[in-house]
Amino acid sequence: MGIYNALYIGASGLSSFGEAVRVVGDNIANVNSLGFKSQNVNFSDVLSQTVGVSRSNIANQVGNGVRIGSITRDQAQGSLQNTTSPTDMAINGNGLFAMRDPATNQLSYTRAGAFILDKDFNLIDAQGNVVQGFSIDQGTGTATGNVGDITFANLAAQAQATSTVTAAVTLDSNATVLATGTAFDPNNPATYHYKSEVNIFDSLGQTHPTSLQFTKVGQDSAGNTVWDWRASVDGGELAGGTAGVATPIGGGAAAKSTVSAAVPAIADNTSGAFTAGNGAITAAVVSNFQTTAVGASYSIASDGAGVITVTSSVAGVSGKGTFGGGPITLNDGTIITPTYGVDAAGVAGTLAASTGGTAAIPAVVTAIGPQTLVFGPNGELVKENSPLLTFNWSGAAPSSVSLNFGNASGQGALYAVTSADGQGITGTGLDATVQVAGSFATRQMTRDGFASGFLDKLETDSSGKIFGVFTNGQRRGLYQVALANFPNDAVLNHVGNNLLQESIASGTPVLGLPGAGGMGTISPFALEQSNVDLAGEFVKLIVIQRGYEANSKTILTTDQMLSSLMQIKR
């Protein structure tokens, strides 16, 4: 009987709208649940019953009520709330965090990124599920390998020995060259011009105060200024060394450049007696001739055939000429002018020598040492000799350290070659150590290497990389969180605790890196809030309530009709 069907139709409306109230109520209840996505109820009619067919073969159908056709999830992005925890993360865009249950190895997925560290330093959620991610290769800084647990157990930053020191030093061009023969002694400040300090690390992370000494040695033949440098440490830091005694590292005394002796000017005219025979000078009669000058004396000898030889008291300096042939140039550049005369009888005479006003010849750097810096006319570094220095530490592995004083220009006279720089990198010659008129100064001293350290805190960037900051100041990438993307993430199964699981309708997830392949990025120090719109939910609630009341009227009306039917027979 159709009137009874009307009761069931009204009942289907009450049942469906009652379920709709549950959905709206669940949305409202989860207005503050992290990463929660609100749901919508979609109603559909129930299969209709045919009550007759018209003459035009059109079926007359009566509906059998309503039911819930589907409950869909609103995947809109929730708002982000900033936090102070470095392990809080929010996904800005597509994707879900992958979580592993350590008890069952079951993977679940969530948008709630409120993560913490457990006692074993695993990154987990409040239920103990471990966040999944990729480990970071320390060489390339990129994610590598397969997805696995993110854990920070037993992390430490091993010490790294210093391998490079870069020194930006200002050397005073007005410094006076030290006296000839001054031997370098790191324990005697009078044997060098300037000292700078730097601490370097050995393989165990121990620091060692190291001194750099600079000594001006003069100019080369092209007029470039040459400085020798040396490094030294306390002997107690070295294997077999003596504590309290500064010990040179590297070339030591052998690092010194070679400088020629200065030749002073001859400022006087001194004559010696000789006996001339028919205008010839014999070796015997002139062997005692000498002329005295500042710092040197000269003797003259003849071979008896008109060729004379002038010899300096400086070893290796001499020159030859002919009788009456004019000035004689010695091999160090000194010019000697002999003059000859006889007495009135033509028996006795004099031989005089004069410099003719020739200036002194200064000392010249003739060989650049293995630990030497050469500066051009503008104070720029034009050549850098900087070999590796080996420090044989006491109690630690030996260290090889490169001293970099800047990128030499290689453009100074005699040095217009790319090999003018110790590291083979040419530049302006003005980026680090330079020579200027003024005070000595150390502008900057940098070195690599560091002591050992332990994990101090974590940091996360927008790519999902989690960095460890260690107590020794080092910062390195450790993991990159994995994001899961489903073909249809709107139909994942809810399993509670803000977790979702794969369903037949959702498809198989693809795990990838944030910001790649359509994945969203990570907002560190933030959490995604629920996307529930309270105003919209209240409107839905009013509509559902009215629908429920209307269906109850259907039942009430049907009941009244049945009551009237029962009144037909009294």
* Residue 442: pLDDT over 60: yes
Report pLDDT digits (tens) over 444-503: 999 999 998 888 899 999 999 999 999 888 899 999 999 999 999 888 999 989 999 999
User: Average pLDDT, stretch 426-449?
Assistant: 93
% pLDDT > 70, the chain = 83
Contacts of 56 (CB under 8 A, 6+ apart): none
User: Average pLDDT, stretch 236-256?
Assistant: 89
Per-residue pLDDT at 53: 62
Contacts of 41 (CB under 8 A, 6+ apart): 19, 20, 23, 24, 68, 70, 71
Q: What is the DSSP letter of 39?
A: E
Give the ranges where 66-168 is alpha helix by DSSP (H).
none
* Residue 284: pLDDT over 50: no
Q: Is 199 helix (H, G, I), strand (E, B) or coil?
A: strand
Q: Indicate the range of 12-26, 341-355, 555-569 predicted with least confidence.
A: 341-355
**Beta carbons of 485 and 509 less than 8 angstroms apart:** yes
Contacts of 476 (CB under 8 A, 6+ apart): 136, 138, 157, 467, 468, 470
- Strands 66-73, 521-524: pairing is unpaired
Q: Which CATH number fits domain 164-260+363-447: 3.40.50.720, 3.40.640.10, 3.40.470.10, 2.60.98.20?
A: 2.60.98.20
Per-residue pLDDT at 269: 40
Per-residue pLDDT at 522: 96
Per-residue pLDDT at 292: 37
d(CA 398, CA 394): 9
Per-residue pLDDT at 54: 61
Report phi then psi at 481, rounded to 5: -65, 150
Q: Can you tell me which residue has the tokens 């391998």?
A: 163
Domain extents for the chain? Answer: 2-76+531-566, 83-157+453-528, 164-260+363-447, 270-354
d(CA 448, CA 401): 10
Report pLDDT digits (tens) over 159-169: 899 999 999 99
**Beta carbons of 13 and 548 less than 8 angstroms apart:** yes
User: Average pLDDT, stretch 21-26?
Assistant: 92
Q: Can you tell me which residue has the tokens 């930006």?
A: 168
* Residue 342: pLDDT over 70: no
d(CA 266, CA 319): 15
Per-residue pLDDT at 55: 65
Question: How many H-runs (helices) and E-runs (strands) does the chain carry?
Answer: 3, 43
d(CA 75, CA 89): 18
User: Average pLDDT, stretch 376-404?
Assistant: 94
- State the virtual CA torsion across 402, 407, 409, 412 in degrees, nearest 10: -40
User: Average pLDDT, stretch 414-438?
Assistant: 84
Q: Indicate the range of 52-61, 225-234, 254-263, 490-499 predicted with least confidence.
A: 52-61
Q: For residue 344, which amino acid is it?
A: A
Higher model confidence: residue 433 or residue 326?
433
% pLDDT > 90, the chain = 53
136, 207, 348, 512 from 521: Cα distances, Å:
18, 41, 109, 11
Give which of 86, 89, 87, 118 is closest to 102, Cα–Cα: 118
For the chain, give the mean pLDDT. Answer: 84
d(CA 569, CA 229): 127
User: Average pLDDT, stretch 357-369?
Assistant: 72
* Residue 562: pLDDT over 90: no
- pLDDT grade, residue 422 (50/70/90)? confident
User: Average pLDDT, stretch 551-569?
Assistant: 83
* Residue 272: pLDDT over 50: no
Report pLDDT digits (tens) over 506-558: 999 999 999 998 899 999 999 999 999 999 999 999 998 898 888 888 888 88
Per-residue pLDDT at 340: 52
- pLDDT grade, residue 50 (50/70/90)? low
**Beta carbons of 214 and 227 less than 8 angstroms apart:** yes
Q: For residue 98, which amino acid is it?
A: A
Per-residue pLDDT at 420: 84
- pLDDT grade, residue 291 (50/70/90)? very low
* Residue 222: pLDDT over 90: no
Per-residue pLDDT at 121: 93
Q: Indicate the range of 74-83, 152-161, 398-407 predicted with least confidence.
A: 152-161
